[in-house]
Amino acid sequence: MTARAYLDWNASAPLRPQAREAMLAALEVTGNPSSVHAEGRAARAIVERARAQVAELAGCAPAEVVFTSGATEAAQVLPRLARGGWVAVDPLAHECLWAHRGGGDGAPGVYAMPLAEGETGLLRGLPSRDEEGLWQTEAGSTPRLVVDAVQAVGRIPFDFARSGAQAAILSAHKLGGPRGVGALILREGVDIDSLAPGGGQELGRRSGTENVAGIAGFGAAAAAAAADMAAGLWEEVAALRDEMEAALMAAAPEAVIIGRDAPRLPNTTAIAVAGWKGETQVMQMDLAGFAISAGSACSSGKVRESRVLGALGLAPELARSAIRISIGPATPREAVMGFVAAWERHLRKHRARAA
């Protein structure tokens, strides 16, 4: 059987060997990180090392990093920051933010937005601030901003300290860490009710014994991701992505690459051929040995149009035909070009059936 090619990094990046090694080492440590004895201190040291590694990647202070079970839990900061106001959410936001959207009279108490949209890779610029420090958003002026940095961190530069945002959310598995661990970055001086009331871990901001092994993997992945960026590996990924897109468009001049001329993540292609359903393409490519998607992993498998593609103004038929290919530094060129060849073969069959 031909080896499979994984081209769905925006859903979940492959686990980095550095993360696996750190997790295995952490699993050998017995103590609870809240315990004061030597075993507990050893576990605490693992957590704090990872906290510093994540902070270095995100451009924040270690004390601003709150470990969570993932970005969805971290997004629960939104109603806590609204402070009696309502939660406004960018139309291109991930479902974990969209679930908290509200409405009401007056200005919102908090605005949430992605730095990079995961289905298309489109980048979103931060809103401006007025002389009073209020964020000027399409929903109105608001004193607080939460940024979803899940798809961006580790692929493009992000400096939380300079962003001015009150909070950001991260997920380990998008940058090669384990699934089931993430972080809320909460600016110093911003207080919230605990995401999970209980024993008061994470300085009272998220109770529950820390997932030491998962956090260790997160930290190691963050350090490795920072090294990749410093080495210019994502520029190489962008060049391979562009080569793939040129080949796809040569095979299908009628295709639309969504956001091709706009700022995007270096690894993401969203392409649509009207009338050729995205779900059909995903199944065909899967059988051919290529893992791609027809949208975010949180909505894949659900027979409904993409909310995000609709917000971008795509016609329903085109939105239903969109697929996403997302790659990374470990993706070999032969896998990408093999995908192009397989996609072109199935495109010819689609054209023959439609004739």
Is the CB of residue 249 less than 8 Å from the CB of residue 257? yes
Is the CB of residue 18 less than 8 Å from the CB of residue 221? yes
Instruction: Sort residue 38 into left (φ over 0), alpha (ψ -120 to 50) or beta.
Output: alpha
C-alpha 100/C-alpha 93 separation (Å) is: 11
| Across 316-325, average pLDDT | 96
What is the pLDDT confidence band of residue 1, given thresholds at 50, 70 and 90?
Answer: very low
For the chain, what is the total number of helices (H) and then of strands (E)?
A: 12, 14
Q: What is the pLDDT of residue 105?
A: 79
Q: Is 17-229 a CATH 3.40.640.10 domain?
A: yes
pLDDT over 50 (residue 341):
yes
Tens digits of residue pLDDT in 22-55: 999 999 999 999 999 999 999 999 999 999 999 9
Q: Domain 5-14+232-354 sits in which CATH superfamily?
A: Aspartate Aminotransferase, domain 1 (3.90.1150.10)
| Across 41-70, average pLDDT | 98
What is the pLDDT confidence band of residue 170, given thresholds at 50, 70 and 90?
Answer: very high
pLDDT over 50 (residue 303):
no
Give the start-end residues of each E strand in 90-217. Answer: 110-114, 128-129, 135-137, 140-142, 145-148, 167-171, 182-186
- Please indicate whether residue 355 or residue 246 has the higher confidence score (pLDDT): 246
Q: Which of 287, 297, 298, 315 is catalytic?
A: 298
Q: What is the pLDDT of residue 296?
A: 53
pLDDT over 50 (residue 99):
yes
Per the prediction, the chain carries an average pLDDT of 95
Tens digits of residue pLDDT in 222-238: 999 999 999 999 999 99
C-alpha 155/C-alpha 237 separation (Å) is: 10
- Would you say the CATH fold of 17-229 matches that of 5-14+232-354? no
| Across 338-348, average pLDDT | 98
For the beta sheet containing 140-142, the strands, ordered from the edge strand earlier in sequence to the opposite edge, are 128-129, 135-137, 140-142
Q: Is 298 among the residues known to form the active site?
A: yes
User: What are the extents of the domains in the chain?
Assistant: 5-14+232-354, 17-229
Is the CB of residue 290 less than 8 Å from the CB of residue 5? yes
Q: What is the pLDDT of residue 298?
A: 55
Q: What is the pLDDT of residue 238?
A: 98
| Across 72-101, average pLDDT | 95
pLDDT over 50 (residue 300):
no
| Across 192-215, average pLDDT | 94
Give the start-end residues of each E strand in 248-338. Answer: 256-257, 268-272, 290-291, 322-326
